[in-house]
Amino acid sequence: MTTLSDLEAQATRHKPAFGEHAHILCDNLVRIYKTEGVEVVALQGLDLLIEKGELIAIVGASGSGKSTLLNVLSGLDIPTAGLARVAGMDLLSMTAKDRLHYRRSVVGFIWQQTARNLLPYLTARENVMLPMKLAGKKAGRDRADELLELLGVADCAPRRPGQMSGGEQQRVAIAVALANSPEVILADEPTGELDSDTSEEVFGALRRANRELGVTAVIVTHDPLVSEQVDRTVGIRDGRTSSETLRRTSEDGDVIAEEYAVLDRVGRLQLPRDFTNALEMERRVRLELERDHIGVWPAGAGEENGE
Ligand code: ADP
Ligand code: MG
């Protein structure tokens, strides 16, 4: 006799593990900060899958956990629980030696504060050569110049950060992040201190790095128009992924960005707060399966008259 648990076992056997082939995998990621006895849950069971070579933006209100997520992915911070894997490396269990290698050669990072990305007493070229030296590679002057060229800042090579504009400094910072040919680059609000024209140039440079070098790029941003420029925009709310906007080009060549809610593996869904507020939905809702959609009603609505 086939029991229910046999069927379940069979079903899991044929189903690949969650995110088995993803380049970046976060599975039920939790990060709790403890300060003076108070716990702040910055990530509360975040799931995220990113394919190799994708260019994605992460958006969300201040305090939603974006920087916490990027710090985990960069190997700077260790999550409290869950699974985080990048390019096949497990970020929770790796050794100190692996972590150092990971941070030098597998990921590149760009901070919002332009001053934090570059050493002020080195030229742009020397800044790009520095990570190669630290990784024990022959300092590649030619490679540094190639990267600066790719990002449109070749003329900055002999200049120090103080002699460059904010946008130029951020583009040089991208070259620094790319110096050791990482698999992934992470940028935390790289255009946060820049005006919109300059932001556009920095974004263009990130896109070029993604397209020309095939590097997977994850960019945290406040700019709502960014979703038209990336493959996918992931919205984070309260430490969880809540929405995804996919960009596609219509038949007549228009770029269309469509927003979806994220459905997690066990079927959980986050309803947008303005929707639930508009219908005064709280704590409980009534669901109904229709032929081609699922209806969600405020608890109590339509129940009495058997609607
Ligand atoms: P975002 O980058 O989206 O603005 P963060 O990841 O910086 O959000 O923060 C998420 C939450 O975690 C916030 O409530 C923040 O106050 C808290 N937090 C972040 N870093 C720390 C820390 N080092 N110690 C304590 N709480 C923190
Ligand atoms: Mg932040």
Q: Which residues pair with 241 in a beta bridge?
A: 236
Ligand 2 centre from 68 Cα, in Å? 7
**What stretch of H or E contains 45?**
strand 38-50
Task: Give the mean pLDDT of 66-75.
Answer: 96
285 Cβ partners below 8 Å, 6+ apart?
296, 297, 298, 299
pLDDT at 10: 61
For the whole model, what pTM was predicted?
A: 0.87
**8 or 156, which is more confident:** 156
Confidence band for 307, pLDDT divided at 50, 70 and 90? very low
pLDDT at 13: 58
Ligand 1 centre from 32 Cα, in Å? 9
43 touches 239 (CB < 8 A): yes
Ligand 2 centre from 169 Cα, in Å? 20
Checking if the pLDDT of 304 tops 80, the result is no
Write the residue with the smallest CA distance to atom 14 of ligand 1.
63
Atom of ligand 1 nearest to the CA of 239: 10
pLDDT digits (tens, 9 = 90+) for 180-201: 999 999 999 998 888 888 888 9
**305 or 70, which is more confident:** 70
* CA angle in degrees (0–180, nearest 5) for 229-212-48: 55
Task: Give the mean pLDDT of 218-231.
Answer: 82
| 110, 113, 115, 118: CA torsion to nearest 10 | 0
The residues whose Cβ lies within 5 A of ligand 2, an ion, are: 67
